[in-house]
Amino acid sequence: MPILDAFKLDGKVALVTGATRGLGQAMAAGLAEAGADVAGLDRDEMDFSETRQLVEAQGRRFMPIACDLRASSVADLNTIVGNVVSELGRLDILVNNAGIIRRAPALEYSEEDWDAVLDINLKAVFFLTQAAARVMVKQGGGKVINVASMLSFQGGILVPSYTASKSAVAGITRALANEWADKNINVNAIAPGYMATDNTAPLRADPNRNSAILARIPAGRWGVPDDLKGTAVFLAAAASDYLHGAIIPVDGAWLTR
Ligand code: NAD
């Protein structure tokens, strides 16, 4: 296959969680630009129209899925995957992007903040991946892209449940890669650095944290959602067929500092 063709996603179907804004929206748009149809999952109260426009502007199909991943049972997640296959014909790519963060000192950290973060960032990721992989096994292969974090490698400040969840996302990325590599399913993760989205708005609004973070980023700027498109397309495409269990930092060199 000519190398640039190995980055094309024509005829592929992707399911992206947390697809209405931020990093998920940019990755959904990037996958559509590379040729994929996109099912975009997000909470019911979110506005799907912008992501729909971005996908349809590429001549690709968009399927909105209103779903609260915390309120969904494992059976619900299997139903969602089944609906994607019935409506879009198949499922080749899963991007586990939806995630939340709750900030508080560890001494005061509540059970609710612990459970909410772990339920969405870890439990839903595992069981949605399980549901998708059952389809991918039947289809002869697929691509799972998890969204990890700098806090898959570091401790972070005031976010113990987030650090626990993202460290575990790196762990299950490797565990599932091991199990499924011989089934032509690639499980990898992108670890974004400090990216300008709603998730990090409180950090950017705090002048001290903002300047401390910026001063530590060798690239000299916050990342933007479009910075993830290239890595997402690579991990979704045939170009990455022999890449398994990698946690790829896209971080302006934050980690290498
Ligand atoms: P964001 O808050 O802008 O977007 C998160 C998306 O997930 C939203 O669309 C939201 O509605 C959705 N979501 C949240 N809870 C959900 C639920 N219960 N059910 C369904 N959807 C739900 O944040 P973002 O910065 O775009 O983050 C996307 C991912 O990237 C997250 O996993 C986040 O932890 C991770 N991440 C972000 C950064 C950063 O600097 N922004 C860095 C590293 C990792």
Ligand 1 atom, smallest distance to 19 CA: 9
- Would you say residue 84 lies in a domain? yes
- Expressed in angstroms and rounded, the spacing between residue 88 Cα and the centre of ligand 1 is 24
Residue ranges of the chain with pLDDT lower than 50? none
The predicted-structure confidence for 181-212, as pLDDT tens digits, reads as follows: 999 999 999 999 999 999 899 999 999 999 99
Report which ligand 1 atom has the smallest distance to the Cα of 198. Answer: 3
Contacts of 92 (CB under 8 A, 6+ apart): 9, 12, 13, 14, 36, 136, 139, 141, 142, 143, 236
> What pLDDT sits at residue 113?
98
Look at residue 222 in the predicted model and tell me its pLDDT: 97
**What's the pLDDT score for residue 9?**
98
Q: Which domain holds residue 68?
A: 3-195+225-249
Tell me, in angstroms, the distance from the centre of ligand 1 to residue 4's CA: 30
Burial of 102 (0-12, 13-18, 19+ CB in 10 A): middle
pLDDT value of residue 144: 99
Q: Is the CB of 97 under 6 A from ligand 1?
A: yes
Q: How many domains does one find in the chain?
A: 1
163 Cβ closer than 6 Å to some ligand 1 atom = no
Instruction: Single out the residue of 18, 57, 16 nearest to residue 38, CA to CA.
Output: 16
Does any domain span residue 206?
Answer: no
Question: Which residue do the tokens 């530590």 mark?
Answer: 216
**CATH code, domain carrying 87:** 3.40.50.720
User: Would 203 be classed as within a structural domain?
Assistant: no
* Residues 168, 122: Cα–Cα separation, whole Å: 7
Is residue 204 one of the residues assigned to a domain? Answer: no
What does the block give as tokens for 44? 């019911």
The confidence score (pLDDT) of residue 238 equals: 98
Residue 137, in any domain of the structure: yes
Q: Which helix (H) or strand (E) holds 20?
A: none
> Would residue 145 count as lying in a domain?
yes
* 249 CB near ligand 1 (under 6 Å): no
- Please report whether residue 245 resides in a domain: yes
**Over the range 165-193, which residues count as b (16 or more CB within 10 Å of their CB) and which as e?**
bbbbbbebbbebbeebeeeebbbbbbbbb
Q: Is residue 233 part of a domain?
A: yes
Ligand 1 centroid–CA 241 distance in Å is: 27
- Is 194 in the active site? no
pLDDT at 188: 99
For residues 20 and 203, what is the distance between their CA atoms, to the nearest angstrom? 21
Q: Which of 23, 27, 221, 250 to mutate to test the pocket of ligand 1 (most atoms within 8 A of CB)?
A: 23
Q: Which two tokens stand for residue 16?
A: 């992206």
